[in-house]
Amino acid sequence: MELLPDSIAMVSLAVAAAALYARVACTRLRPGLPRLAALLPVIAFLAAVPMSFSSPMVRGISAFILAWLGVFKVALLAAGRGPLDPALPVLPFVFTTALPVKLKRHHDRPDAAAAAMSSGAKSSWLVSCAVKVSVIAAVIHLLQFKNLHLNVRLVLFGIHLYCFLDLILPCIAAAGSALGMELEPQFNKPYLASSLRDFWGRRWNLMASAILRPSVYDPVRARAGKPAGVFLTFIVSGLMHEVITWYLTWLPPTGETVAFFLLHGACCVAEDWCARRWAVRGWPPPPRPVATAIVAVLVMSTTFWLFFPPLYRGGAEEMLLEEYAALAAGIADARRKLLRYV
């Protein structure tokens, strides 16, 4: 099913037009059912847009950005909540709708010291990007050796996933900064997490957390308590990851991804209960290196067990290598054409 030409530029223009329509509609309608009815076409459009891409990897990325985060943002907008606000200027509104970013609403004007720190941060960011590009290139090279053990391939796949996300999302944030928008970070050194709650709530994919908190966790917690809010939030996250896997592979959901997130939700609830009991009894928490190692082992083992198998059965590794091979061929072709004019 092709709703739009297989062109990122054409899709981007269509998404921008849908965002502009949503902004105009919301300036004329108050939060509630009338606004929701007006935004339903936008929600349906954002959910269908990823199907316009023939590239599996682009389809998966657009499913995360538009069919998950974009749909939830617009649904929250219908209720007058979330990161979107019709009072925002046009460019920030479209940027926030179409990309996995969240604007910082209030911030002080930077002084000279902050500007110096910003310059240092830019240098650090460039170095970080260069390192991640190098790691991705090394991983892609290693994945071409078919005699590697499955667990080694899974580790490499996981390293690639993190480096890719932590490369592309900060680049989007940098583009927003260049356009005069201050954006919240998407990752906060998840490899330093000292608990699962720290990992999921304050370090990993913070844009998803920022969307799930007002749409699922806060209303459920207000009515049924914190454990129920945590459980349902993880279930919804698991369902959306199943949807992304479907967009990527076109295979029916297996439930393994939901099981992965449900397991982590249960662990987060148990971890919070244990932490409160330990605090009451005056027991010290485990040393941070030990806690970080436990979190890393738990996340990696459950990822290999439940999260990666549906992707591997769908041929995600082969798709990944084919996409990078096509990208390399495209870059080489562009380089040859450019050299003709030099």
Per-residue pLDDT of 54-74, as tens digits, reads 888 889 899 999 999 999 999
Please report the pLDDT score of residue 115 as a whole number. 43
Last residue of a domain, one of 152, 183, 214: 183
**Structural domain that includes position 159:** 112-183
How far is it, in rounded angstroms, from Cα 132 to Cα 199? 20
Per-residue pLDDT of 204-246, as tens digits, reads 988 899 999 999 999 999 999 999 999 999 999 999 999 999 9
Mean pLDDT of the chain: 85
CB distance 165 to 205 below 8 Å: yes
216 with 333, same domain: the answer is: yes
233 with 122, same domain: the answer is: no
Is the pLDDT at 1 greater than 80? The verdict is: no
Enter the pTM of the model.
0.85
- In this structure, which amino acid lies at residue 7? S
Is the pLDDT at 287 greater than 60? The verdict is: yes
- Least trusted range by pLDDT, from 56-65, 152-161, 216-225, 255-264: 152-161
148 with 178, same domain: the answer is: yes
333 confidence band (pLDDT: 50, 70, 90): low
Among candidate residues 209, 178, 206, 204, the one with its CA nearest the CA of residue 193: 204
Among candidate residues 260, 318, 293, 304, the one with its CA nearest the CA of residue 154: 304
Q: Is 158 exposed, middle or buried (0-12, 13-18, 19+ CB in 10 A)?
A: middle
263 with 198, same domain: the answer is: yes
193 with 326, same domain: the answer is: yes
Please report the pLDDT score of residue 334 as a whole number. 65
111 confidence band (pLDDT: 50, 70, 90): very low
Is the pLDDT at 114 greater than 50? The verdict is: no
For residue 3, tell me if it sits in a domain: no
∠ Cα 51 56 58 (to 5°):
80
Please report the pLDDT score of residue 279 as a whole number. 82
Give the mean pLDDT of 158-166.
85
283 with 211, same domain: the answer is: yes
Please report the pLDDT score of residue 331 as a whole number. 66
338 with 200, same domain: the answer is: yes
267 confidence band (pLDDT: 50, 70, 90): very high
Is the pLDDT at 261 greater than 90? The verdict is: yes
69 with 21, same domain: the answer is: yes
Is the pLDDT at 21 greater than 80? The verdict is: yes
Is the pLDDT at 154 greater than 70? The verdict is: yes
Per-residue pLDDT of 302-328, as tens digits, reads 999 999 888 888 777 777 777 777 766
Share of the chain above pLDDT 90, in %: 47
Higher-pLDDT residue of 336 and 37 is: 37
For residue 271, tell me if it sits in a domain: yes
Please report the pLDDT score of residue 86 as a whole number. 92
Among candidate residues 320, 298, 313, the one with its CA nearest the CA of residue 157: 320
Among candidate residues 342, 333, 297, the one with its CA nearest the CA of residue 155: 297
117 confidence band (pLDDT: 50, 70, 90): very low
Please report the pLDDT score of residue 294 as a whole number. 94
304 with 209, same domain: the answer is: yes
For residue 132, tell me if it sits in a domain: yes
Share of the chain above pLDDT 70, in %: 88
Last residue of a domain, one of 146, 164, 183: 183
CB distance 197 to 265 below 8 Å: no
Higher-pLDDT residue of 263 and 152 is: 263
3-state DSSP percent of the chain in helix, strand and coil, to 5: 75, 0, 20
Is the pLDDT at 124 greater than 70? The verdict is: yes
Is the pLDDT at 49 greater than 90? The verdict is: yes
Please report the pLDDT score of residue 216 as a whole number. 95
How far is it, in rounded angstroms, from Cα 49 to Cα 2? 9
Is the pLDDT at 109 greater than 50? The verdict is: no
178 with 321, same domain: the answer is: no
Please report the pLDDT score of residue 3 as a whole number. 46
Domains: count for the chain: 3
Is the pLDDT at 34 greater than 90? The verdict is: yes
Give the mean pLDDT of 171-181.
76
Please report the pLDDT score of residue 307 as a whole number. 92
Last residue of a domain, one of 154, 183, 212: 183
For residue 107, tell me if it sits in a domain: no
> What is the largest distance, in Å, between two alpha-carbon atoms of the chain?
74
For residue 304, tell me if it sits in a domain: yes
